[in-house]
Amino acid sequence: MQNRAAEAYEKRKNEYSGKLEAVKKRSDRVSFLRLLAFITAAALAGFGIYSGRSEYHLAALSPAVAFIFLVFHHMRLTEAIGYLSNMVTINDKGLQRLAWEWDSFPEKGDLYSGPDHPYSMDLNIFGRGSLFQHINATVTYGGEQALASLLSGQTDFASVSERQESTKELSVKLHWRQRFQATGMGDESEKVNPAGLLAWAKDRQDRLKYPDFMMLLPPVTVFMFILYYFGSLPLQVPLLLLAVQFIIVLITGKKIHKHFDATELAAGRLKQYAALLKCIEREPFDSSRLRRLQENLTGGTIPASRQVRKLAGIVELSQFRYTQPVVYFPVNILLLWDLFTYRKLAQWKLTSGTCVESWLDAISEFEVNSSLAGLAYENPNWAYPEVVPKPPAFRASAMGHPLIKPDNRVCNDVRMPSSGTALIITGSNMSGKSTLLRTVGINLVLAYAGSPVCAAELETAFLPVYSKMTVVDDLARGVSTYYAELERIKTIVEAAGTGKPMIYLLDEILKGTNSRDRILGTRAVVRKLTRYPTLGMLTTHDLELAALEDENPDLIKNYHFEDQIENGKIRFDYKLKPGVSTSTNAIALMKIVGIDLDETLLDD
Question: Residue 166 above 60 pLDDT?
Answer: yes
Break the chain into its structural domains and give their ranges. 1-99, 195-366, 386-602
Write down the pLDDT at residue 475: 59
- pTM equals 0.89
Please state the rounded mean pLDDT for residues 159-164. 95
Q: Lay out the sheet containing 386-388: strands in order across.
A: 386-388, 457-461, 394-399, 412-416
Question: Residue 203 above 50 pLDDT?
Answer: yes
Amino acid occupying residue 101: E
**Residue 502 pLDDT grade (very low, low, confident, very high; cuts 50, 70, 90):** very high
Question: Residue 571 above 90 pLDDT?
Answer: no
Task: Give the tens place of pLDDT for each residue, 328-346.
Answer: 888 888 888 888 888 888 8
Please state the rounded mean pLDDT for residues 51-66. 82
Question: Residue 573 above 90 pLDDT?
Answer: no
Q: Lay out the sheet containing 502-507: strands in order across.
A: 465-468, 502-507, 534-540, 422-426, 556-560, 577-578
Task: Give the tens place of pLDDT for each residue, 261-273.
Answer: 777 766 678 889 9
Question: Residue 555 above 60 pLDDT?
Answer: yes
CB 333 within 8 A of CB 128: no
Question: Residue 65 above 50 pLDDT?
Answer: yes
Per CATH, domain 386-602 is 3.40.50.300: yes
CB 381 within 8 A of CB 1: yes
Q: For a pLDDT cut of 90, what percent of the chain falls above it?
A: 56
Question: What average pLDDT is seen over the chain?
Answer: 88
Distance CA(273)–CA(262), nearest Å, equals: 17
Question: What crossing angle do the helices spanning 356-378 and 267-282 adopt, rounded to 10°?
Answer: 60
Question: Residue 604 above 60 pLDDT?
Answer: no
Write down the pLDDT at residue 586: 58
Question: What crossing angle do the helices spanning 337-352 and 325-335 adopt, rounded to 10°?
Answer: 80
Question: Residue 45 above 80 pLDDT?
Answer: yes
Task: Give the tens place of pLDDT for each residue, 453-469.
Answer: 999 999 999 999 999 98
Question: Residue 602 above 80 pLDDT?
Answer: no
Write down the pLDDT at residue 319: 82
Distance CA(39)–CA(585), nearest Å, equals: 81
Enclosing H/E stretch for 78: helix 54-98
DSSP state string for 250-296:
HHHHHHHHHHHHHHHTTHHHHHHHHHHHHHHHHS---SHHHHHHHHH
Kindly give, in sequence order, each residue whose CB lies less than 8 Å from that of residue 115, ignoring residues fewer than 6 positions away: 121, 471, 472, 474, 484
Distance CA(75)–CA(30), nearest Å, equals: 10
Distance CA(320)–CA(328), nearest Å, equals: 7
Q: Which residue has the higher pLDDT, 229 or 402?
A: 402
Write down the pLDDT at residue 601: 47
**Residue 54 pLDDT grade (very low, low, confident, very high; cuts 50, 70, 90):** confident
Write down the pLDDT at residue 485: 82
Kindly give, in sequence order, each residue whose CB lies less than 8 Å from that of residue 385, ignoring residues fewer than 6 positions away: 443, 447, 452, 453, 455, 458, 459, 460
Distance CA(603)–CA(142), nearest Å, equals: 61
Distance CA(251)–CA(428), nearest Å, equals: 77
Cα–Cα distances in angstroms (integers) from residue 326 to residues 159, 332, 340, 510, in the given order: 55, 11, 19, 70
Write down the pLDDT at residue 16: 95
CA-based angle 138:139:145, to the nearest 5?
60
Question: Residue 201 above 90 pLDDT?
Answer: no
Please state the rounded mean pLDDT for residues 517-532. 92
Question: Residue 474 above 80 pLDDT?
Answer: no
Distance CA(174)–CA(217), nearest Å, equals: 55
CB 530 within 8 A of CB 552: yes
Distance CA(281)–CA(573), nearest Å, equals: 51
Question: Residue 101 above 70 pLDDT?
Answer: yes
Question: Residue 598 above 70 pLDDT?
Answer: no
Task: Give the tens place of pLDDT for each residue, 278-308.
Answer: 999 999 999 999 999 999 998 778 899 999 9
Write down the pLDDT at residue 64: 86
Kindly give, in sequence order, each residue whose CB lies less than 8 Å from that of residue 159, ignoring residues fewer than 6 positions away: 289, 450
Write down the pLDDT at residue 265: 66
